[in-house]
Amino acid sequence: MSNEVKDEADNKKFYLVVARHGERWDYVQRNAGHGADWIATAKRPWDPPLSPLGLKQASRLGSHLMEKLAELKLPPIAACYSSPFLRCRQTSCQAVEAMMNGGTATTAETSAPLKVQIEIGLSESLNKSWYRSWALPGADSTWGFVPPEEKQPGKRRRGLNEYSPEELHLSSRVPAPELLTWKEATHESSPNLQTLQDMEYQSTTAICKPFALRPKVLVETAEEQQTRMFQVVANKARPGQTILVVSHGGPVTHLYEKLSGKHWNVHGESKYCCYSIYECDSPEKMSEVWKTVVVNESKYLDDLWSDGTANI
C-alpha cells in the first residue's frame, strides 16, 4: 500500500478514548467510617465530587493520554465529552487543562481551545444498585447498599418497592433526568469548571424515561445504559480524529462489550481514571466490532493510589 493510500485510509478511521473518573470523595469518607454521615448531609448525595487525590489522577490522565497517543501515532484529542455527574466533569476539566498545558488541547475544526461538552448519555448506570447507594436509610455510597439490619441471621434483603416513602431519600422520588441537571453543580476545588465547560453545548443524547423509586420503582436496564453510551459514540466520532469520553465504571465496561463484542470480564473492573482506546476503520463499520488498541489501562497511576491496593 502506498503512503498516499495509507494516509487516505487512516483519515477515514475513528479513534475513541473511553475513561473513568478519578477517586470519589464519598468513597474516601465511607472508607473512613463516615459514609452515612456524608450521604445524610450532602446537598446532592447522588453526585459526589472528586477527592484531592482524584483531581491529581485526572490531571495525570490528561498528560499521559497526550504522550500515549503520540507514542501510538494517533491523532491528539480533538473533542472531550463528559457525563453530567460532577466527578466526571471535574475529571474531564483536569485532563483537558493538563493537555492545554502540554499544548495539544485544541478543537480539530477551529484550533480553538478545547472545552468539555456534556453528553447526558454518558451518565452513571441509573439502576437498582445506584439508587441503593444513596437513597436507602443508612446508605453510605456502597454500590448496591444493604442496610446492616437486613444482613442479620433470619433477615432478608428488602426490595426497593418494600420501603415506605418516608424511609427513602426525598430525591429518589424525583425523575432521574431532573437529578442530572448540572450547570449549577460546581465545586470549590475545581475553578476550571467555570472556564473549561462548554455551557452553550446541547447534549445530543438524553435519559428518556423518568427513572425514580416512587410513585413506583422504575430503574434503568443494562441494555438501555449500553445503548445510550454507544449513541454518544455514534453521534460524535469523526473520521481522522480522536475523541475522549469520560464516564463511570459500569458504563465504561458495558461500552467495551458493545464495541469489542467481548464479555466485560475480558476488560475487567474499571479502576479510577482507567482508559481504553478503540479504532474503527470507517463510518460504514461503526456498528461492527471495533479494534481495541489499549484495554483498561491504569498502571500509569500506580503512584497515585490512596493505599497499597488498586482502587475500583
Q: Is the pLDDT of residue 8 over 80?
A: no
pLDDT at position 310: 43
More confident residue, 12 or 249: 249
d(CA 203, CA 198): 11
Q: What is the pLDDT of residues 40-59, one digit of tens each?
A: 999 999 999 999 999 999 99
pLDDT at position 282: 85
- For residue 239, is it within any domain? yes
CA 77 to chain centre: 17
- Which residue pairs from 280-286 have beta carbons closer than 8 angstroms and sit at least 24 positions apart in sequence? 280/13, 280/14, 280/16, 280/237, 281/9, 281/12, 281/13, 282/12, 282/13, 282/239, 283/12, 283/14, 283/239, 286/14, 286/233, 286/234, 286/237
Q: What is the pLDDT of residues 136-158, one digit of tens each?
A: 999 999 999 999 999 999 899 99
- For residue 257, is it within any domain? yes
More confident residue, 192 or 112: 192
Confidence of residue 208 (pLDDT cuts 50, 70, 90): very high
Q: Is the pLDDT of residue 201 over 90?
A: yes
- For residue 97, is it within any domain? yes
Indicate the average pLDDT of the chain: 93
Q: What is the total count of domains within the chain?
A: 1
* CATH code, 272: 3.40.50.1240
Q: Is the pLDDT of residue 4 over 60?
A: no
pLDDT at position 106: 56
pLDDT at position 103: 65
Is 0.85 surpassed by the pTM of this model? yes
- For residue 6, is it within any domain? no
d(CA 103, CA 222): 38
- For residue 5, is it within any domain? no
- For residue 177, is it within any domain? no
3-class SS letters over 86-120? HHHHHHHHHHHHHHHHCCCCECCCCCCECCEEECH
Residue 55 belongs to domain spanning: 12-125+182-212+221-301
Determine the average pLDDT of the residues in 170-197: 97
- For residue 34, is it within any domain? yes
pLDDT at position 7: 57
